[in-house]
């Protein structure tokens, strides 16, 4: 299994290297134009695009280009960013029409000499490239994204110990725990485009993450939370969420697996993780 995986990764890496070399051969770009969406509705500024020329190098990311534009050309550009390494999820935006992380998208990956950057759709717009994530976080809050365990006694401090989870138990939810709440999936989802009460792929995949975690003892309640008119059933597996996810979370997989439990394809019983026996201390 591991060997097959290694072989698969090596084949993919060779393919990516080849494509990269191909692009670099065609790439003597030293500058390109950023077409940036500008709008500030609260100040009465109507939407328009500003075109700003920025110098780029082989390794320049879209975020680098935007920050250059902000530093040297137009200080008023509104951008949200933080870690610059695809870890915080702050710099999500539409790049050439597709939701991507600006720090994780190299300009060399994009065709042509003009890159269009726009704010993420399906999020209320604040200014320029900045959007409001409150609704998104509220949907996440509503799925109760924390372990609920009635069995283990976690109140008394001297009884606190760890849950015993095998690597197989962890593998069931690990990839879903890699979610950085960047919102790209929410922006790409066709149901979120019209349904304001739909939780969105991020919240639903987190519902699965906690559902399948064997430290959680509230699976039935979690299923009830999503089994409603604007819940899990409004996902139609358009797969766009997984197509844009930068961390390999594959929210579509989580949602369909959770739905499998609702449909009766998968058994709902899971062996709840036990607390390790705490050794007596002298």
Partner 1 sequence: MEHLCSLGANNKKMAMLRESQIMKIHYITGVAAIFVVAVHIMMRIAIMPYGMSLEYENVIANYQNIPYIVLLESILVLVSIHGFNGLRVILLELRQSKKWEDGVTVLTIAAMIALIAYGTRTIIIANGLGFE
Partner 2 sequence: MVSGGFYTICASGEKILEMEKEVADRNNREGMMGWLNPRRYGWERVSYWLQRLTGVGLLAYFIAHIYETSQIAGGPALWEAFLELTQTTLGHIILIVVIGMCVYHSANGIRLIFVHGGKGLGKPGRPDYPYDAVSLNYRQKSGIWIALILALVAMLYGASVLFGGE
Q: DSSP character for 59? A: T
* Residues engaged in binding partner 1 (CB under 8 A): 139, 142-144, 148, 150, 191, 194-199, 218, 221, 224-231, 233-234, 262-263
- Give the full edge-to-edge strand order of the sheet including 45-55: 45-55, 31-40, 114-118, 92-95, 98-101
* Closest by CA position to 162, among listed 22, 279, 19: 279
Specify the residue for token string 């409004």. Answer: 234
What share of residues in the chain are helix, strand, coil (percent, to 5)?
A: 40, 15, 45
- Considering only residues 107 through 136, tell me which ones interact with partner 2, judged by CB under 8 A: 119, 121-125, 131-132, 134-135
- Residue closer to partner 1 (CB basis): 60 or 148: 148
The CA–CA distances, whole Å, from 210 to 166, 168, 176, 200 equal 16, 15, 9, 16
142 touching partner 2, by CB under 8 A: yes
Q: Interface mask (CB under 8 A) for partner 2, residues 71-110, using x and -?
A: --------------------------xx------------
150 binds, among partner 2, partner 1, none (CB under 5 to 8 A by kind): partner 1
C-beta of 123 vs 198, nearer to partner 1:
198
Q: How far is the CB of 73 from partner 2 (least distance, A)?
A: 25
Among the residue ranges 50-58, 155-163, 173-181, 267-275, the one whose residues contact partner 2 (CB under 8 A) = 173-181
φ, ψ (nearest 5 deg) of residue 80: -110, 130
Q: 151 exposed, middle or buried (CB, 10 Å; 0-12, 13-18, 19+)?
A: exposed
213's contact among partner 1, partner 2, none, with CB below 5 to 8 A by partner kind, is none
Our CB check for partner 1 shows the closer of 61 and 187 to be 187
C-alpha to C-alpha distance for 122 and 187, rounded to whole angstroms? 5
In the list 61, 90, 149, 175, the residue contacting partner 2 (rule: CB under 8 A) is: 175
Residues 93, 129 contacting (CB under 8 angstroms): yes
- In sequence order, which residues have a C-beta less than 8 Å from that of residue 35 and are 6 or more positions away? 49, 50, 51, 114, 115, 116, 117
Residue 210: CB minimum distance to partner 1, A: 12
Q: Which does 240 bind (CB under 5 to 8 A by kind): partner 1, partner 2, none?
A: partner 2
For 118, list phi and psi in degrees, rounded to 5.
Answer: -135, 160
How far is Cα 99 from Cα 87, in angstroms, rounded to an integer? 16
Q: Which is nearer to partner 1, 236 or 281 (CB)?
A: 236
Binding track over 197-226 against partner 2, x by CB under 8 A: x-----------------------------
Whichever of 32 and 207 has its CB closer to partner 1, that residue is 207
Q: Is 193 in the site for partner 2 (CB under 8 A)?
A: yes
Tell me the DSSP string of 88-156: S-TTEEEETTEEEEGGG-BGGGS-SSEEEEEPPTTS-EEETTEE--HHHHHHHHHT--S---SSS--SS
Contacts with partner 2, residue ranges (CB under 8 A): 9, 12, 16, 97-98, 119, 121-125, 131-132, 134-135, 138-139, 141-142, 171-176, 178, 188-190, 192-194, 196-197, 236-240, 242-250, 252-254, 256-257, 259-260, 263, 265-266
């Amino acid at each position: 299994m591991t060997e097959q995986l290694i072989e698969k990764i090596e084949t993919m890496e060779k393919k990516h290297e080849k494509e990269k070399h191909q692009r670099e051969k065609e790439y003597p770009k030293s500058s390109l134009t950023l077409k940036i969406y500008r709008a500030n509705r609260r100040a009465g500024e109507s939407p328009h695009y500003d075109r700003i020329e920025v110098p780029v190098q082989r390794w320049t990311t879209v975020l680098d280009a935007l920050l250059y534009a902000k530093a040297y050309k137009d200080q008023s550009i509104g951008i949200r960013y933080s870690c610059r390494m695809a870890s915080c999820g702050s710099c999500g935006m539409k790049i050439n029409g597709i939701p991507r992380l600006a720090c994780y998208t190299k300009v060399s990956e994009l065709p042509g000499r003009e890159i269009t950057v726009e704010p993420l759709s399906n999020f209320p717009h604040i200014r320029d490239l900045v959007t409001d994530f409150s609704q998104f976080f509220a949907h996440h809050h509503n799925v109760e994204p924390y372990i609920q365990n009635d069995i283990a006694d976690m109140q008394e401090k001297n009884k606190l110990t760890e849950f015993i989870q095998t690597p197989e138990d962890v593998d069931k939810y690990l990839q879903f725990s890699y979610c950085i709440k960047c919102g790209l999936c929410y922006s790409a989802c066709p149901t979120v485009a019209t349904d304001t009460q739909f939780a969105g792929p991020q919240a639903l995949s987190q519902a699965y993450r906690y559902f399948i975690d064997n430290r959680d003892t509230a699976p039935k309640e979690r299923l009830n939370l999503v089994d409603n008119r604007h819940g899990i059933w409004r996902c139609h597996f358009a797969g766009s969420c997984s197509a844009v996810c930068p961390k390999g979370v594959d929210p579509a997989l989580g949602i369909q697996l959770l739905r499998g439990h609702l449909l009766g394809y998968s058994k709902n019983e899971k062996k709840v993780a036990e607390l390790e026996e705490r050794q007596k201390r002298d």
